[in-house]
Amino acid sequence: MPKIVVYTNSEENKSSVINTLSEAGYYTVLANSIDEMLEMISSSSADIMIFEALADVKETSLLLRKIRLQDQSGDIQIILLTPPTDNIENIASNADGYISLPINKAMLISTVNSHLRLKEHLDIFSTNNSELAKRFYQLKVLYDTNSNLAGTLDKKKLINIMNKGLRQSISYSLCSTLVINNEEDVSLIINSLLPITKRLEQALKLRAIISYKSLFPQDKLPFDINIEKIKTFVYHKQSEEIYDLEVMNFSNIFSPIATSDKFFGTVEIMRDSKLSTEDMTCFQTVVSQVALPLESAILYEEIQEKNVKLEKLEKLKSEFVSIVSHELRTPLTAIKNSLDIMLSGKSGELTDKMSNFLNMGKRNVVRLSGIINDLLDLSKIEAGKMEYRFEKMDLSEPINLIFSTFDTLASQREISLHVENELQESFVFGDTQKIEQILSNLVSNAIKFTGQNGDIKIKLSKVTAQELDKKKFIAYDINQVDLSGAYYKIDVQDTGIGISEENLLKVFDKFRQIESSLSRKVGGTGLGLPIAKEFVDAHKGFIWVESEENKGTTFSFILPEYTQISSFLIELENLYQKANNQDFTFAVIHLKNTKDNALIDEFLTTDKAAAKKMKIFNIKQDAYIIFKGFIKNQLDDCIENFKNFMKTKKDAKIKLNVAFFDENLLFNEFLEKFYKGEN
C-alpha cells in the first residue's frame, strides 16, 4: 500500500489534501510539525511527500534536501504545493512535482497517481539493480573459480576450490562431496556452516552412497563402494550451534562430478533458504568446471609416476652395463682359470682324452667371452653410452697388430694371411682400440668362412672421394652420404664361401647369421658386423661388402684422412652425443686470426688446471678450442677467464666467439649457431 505523508501550513489546504486523497483510497498520514514530518520519513518509508512551500525559497530548498536525506530508500517523490506565481525563482527547484495553490482536486489526484507509478518503476529498477549486483557477484565467483581451477593439478586443491566457489556463490548451509579415486580410496568431504552431529554425519554418508548408486543402472556401477571404507572429513565455520537431521529437510541440489568418460564422484548442497534457479545454474556451472581439471590432475599424477619409473630405468640401464659386465665375467674367469690350471699339468698328469675335453671347455669359454663382449658393446651403443677416444693415429699399427694376432690361427687352418700396404703413412683421427676391434671382427670372419688353402689379404690404400662408388654403400641411405676429401681404405679380402645376394643386404643387421651348412658349424652371435658398422660410422667412415658365392668376399671400409677440420668435427659431434647422454657439458671457442697458438699457450701458463681440459685445433688462420668435461659452473668460470685474458691482449684482429652445449638443440642446429657466432 503506497504511503503518502502530508505537511501543510494552513488548515484549509491540509484538510483539502487529506480529504481528497482519503476519498480516493490512499493511505495518508498527516504531520503536525516539520520535525514530526522528518521523523515519519526516517522511521518508515513513504512513497510520496506532499509539502507546502515555505515563504522563503532557500529554506524550502534546504528542507527538501533534509527530507531526501532522511528517506532511507532514497526514492521518495516530493510534491511541492506552491503559491501561484509566474516567477520561477520563487520556487524551490529540487522537488519532483509541483501543484499550484489553490488545490485543484483532479490535479492533485492525477499528480499523485503519476508519481506513484514513477515510484513503482523506480522500485523495480532498484530491485533489478540489486539482483544484477548479485548475479554479477556470482559471475565473478564463477570466473575466479575457473581461473583457480586452471591453476593447479592437485586433486585436493581442485575439490577445495570447487567448494569455495560454491560457498561464495550460493552460501550453502552444508556441502557434501564424495570423491572416488578407486574402490579402496573413497572420501566424503563435508563442508558445513555449523558443526554436525555424529548421526547427521552417518546419514550424510548413506545419502551420498544412495545418490551415487542412483546415477547408474544397478549392474553398471563404475566402482563398488563399501560404506565402511569411506574416509570422512568434516569442516565447519562457526560453532555456536550445531546441525542435526533437520538439514535433511533443507533445500538441496545434487550433481555427479564427471566428464563424458570418467567418473570422479558426487556433490550435494543443502541450504535452509530456498535455492533460486540462478543458484542452481551457478551450482551446475561450478561443478561442470571442475571435472576437466580433475581428469588432467589424474593424468598428471600418472605422468609423474611414469617419469619416476623412467628415471629409475635410465639409471638401471647405466648400471646394467657395469653390473652385468662384472657378474658375467667373474665366473667366466674362475672357469677359465680352472681349465688353464688343469691344462698346465700343475694339478696332476693329463691324459690325451682329458686334454681334449679340457681344451674343448677352454675354447667355449673364449667363445662365451666374445659373445659377452659383443652383447655389452651393443648394449652400450644402444644406450648411447659408448665411449670413444679419438687421436691422430696411423692405420698401419692396428693392421699389423691384428695380422700378428691371427697369423697363428690362419696357419693352423692352412690359410694364407698377408698384408698389402705401400703407403708411407696413413694418419686418421681415430680410436685405436675400436679400429682393432673392427679389423679383428672382419679377419676372424674371413678365417671362419674360408676353407683350407684359402687366401686372406688385408689391403690398405688411399682413395679420393671421386674414386668411390656410392652405389656400393648398400647399408646406407645414399642421399645422406656426403663424400669429400681423401680417405684411407682397408679391404679384407678372402677366397671363402661367399655371401648370396639376398643375404648381402642384411649382412650388417643385428642377429643375422648367414644360413648355410658350413656356417652353422662356425657359430657366433651375429653381432660383430653391426658393431663394426657402428664404430666405422662413429669415425665418419663407411663400410660395405662385395661378394660372390663360392668365390670369395671382400669387406671394405673407409676412414677420412686426418685433417684438422675433420678431426675437430668428429670430436665435437662425439662430445655432443656424450653430453646428451651423460652428466657432462662442454663449450667451444672459435678464435679468428690468431695465426699461431702463442696466445693460447700463454693463457695455459696462467691457468694450468684448464690445460688438461682443453683441446686445440688449428685450422687455417683460426684456432678452435674445445673445453670439456666441466661441471657447468666451472666451465663458465674458465671461459670467463679465457675471455678476460683475451681482452687484455687488445689485438683488434682477433675475434672470439663461444658456444655452449645446449641439450635442446640438435647437433646440426648447434653447429649452425656456433658458426653464426656470438662475440
Q: Based on CB atoms, which residue is closest to other proteins, 318 or 405?
A: 318
Within 8 A by CB and 6+ apart from 169, the residues are: 137, 138, 141, 142, 145, 279, 282, 283, 286
Record the cell numbers describing residue 538, joined without a space.
662413429
Q: Based on CB atoms, which residue is closest to other proteins, 101 or 324?
A: 324
Which amino acid, 200? L
Q: Based on CB atoms, which residue is closest to other proteins, 385 or 673?
A: 385
Closest contact distance (angstroms) between CB of 359 and other proteins is 14
Binding site for other proteins (CB under 8 A): 318, 321-322, 325-326, 329-338, 340-341, 344, 346-347, 365, 369, 376, 380, 385, 387
Return the SS3 of 225.
coil
Nearest Cα neighbor of 178 from 237, 138, 229, 245 is 229
Closest contact distance (angstroms) between CB of 396 and other proteins is 25
Q: Based on CB atoms, which residue is closest to other proteins, 73 or 322?
A: 322
Q: Based on CB atoms, which residue is closest to other proteins, 29 or 381?
A: 381
Q: Are 266 and 254 in contact, with CB atoms under 8 Å apart?
A: yes
- Neighbouring-strand partners of residue 560: 487
Closest contact distance (angstroms) between CB of 345 and other proteins is 10
Say how far apart CA 202 and CA 232 lie, in whole Å. Answer: 10
Nearest Cα neighbor of 278 from 164, 170, 202, 360 is 170
Q: Based on CB atoms, which residue is closest to other proteins, 181 or 581?
A: 581
Say how far apart CA 388 and CA 578 lie, in whole Å. Answer: 9
Nearest Cα neighbor of 545 from 444, 600, 473, 595 is 473
Closest contact distance (angstroms) between CB of 455 and other proteins is 30
* Sole residue written with cell 557434501: 176
Distance of CA 637 to the CA centre of its chain: 31
* Cis before 398 (ω within 30): no
Closest contact distance (angstroms) between CB of 432 and other proteins is 14
Closest contact distance (angstroms) between CB of 331 and other proteins is 8
Q: Based on CB atoms, which residue is closest to other proteins, 319 or 662?
A: 319
C-alpha angle 253-258-260 in degrees, rounded to nearest 5: 125
Say how far apart CA 156 and CA 143 lie, in whole Å. Answer: 20
Say how far apart CA 294 and CA 152 lie, in whole Å. Answer: 10
Closest contact distance (angstroms) between CB of 325 and other proteins is 4
Q: Based on CB atoms, which residue is closest to other proteins, 353 or 612?
A: 612
Q: How big is the chain, counted in residues?
A: 679
Record the cell numbers describing residue 398, joined without a space.
692396428
217: left (phi over 0), alpha (psi -120 to 50) or beta: beta
Q: Based on CB atoms, which residue is closest to other proteins, 248 or 334?
A: 334
- Neighbouring-strand partners of residue 459: 420, 491
Distance of CA 6 to the CA centre of its chain: 75
Say how far apart CA 175 and CA 188 lie, in whole Å. Answer: 10
Say how far apart CA 398 and CA 562 lie, in whole Å. Answer: 16
Return the SS3 of 221.
coil
CA separation, residue 412 to residues 3, 355, 552 (Å): 130, 18, 20
Distance of CA 646 to the CA centre of its chain: 41
Q: Based on CB atoms, which residue is closest to other proteins, 376 or 465?
A: 376
Within 8 A by CB and 6+ apart from 632, the residues are: 585
Within 8 A by CB and 6+ apart from 666, the residues are: none
Say how far apart CA 435 and CA 458 lie, in whole Å. Answer: 14
Within 8 A by CB and 6+ apart from 425, the residues are: 394, 396
* Sole residue written with cell 691482449: 649
Neighbouring CB atoms inside 10 A of 585's CB total 21
Q: Based on CB atoms, which residue is closest to other proteins, 255 or 338?
A: 338
Closest contact distance (angstroms) between CB of 387 and other proteins is 6
Distance of CA 56 to the CA centre of its chain: 80
Q: Based on CB atoms, which residue is closest to other proteins, 155 or 578?
A: 578
Say how far apart CA 217 and CA 144 lie, in whole Å. Answer: 36
Q: Based on CB atoms, which residue is closest to other proteins, 210 or 609?
A: 609
Q: Based on CB atoms, which residue is closest to other proteins, 535 or 555?
A: 535
Q: Based on CB atoms, which residue is closest to other proteins, 100 or 325?
A: 325
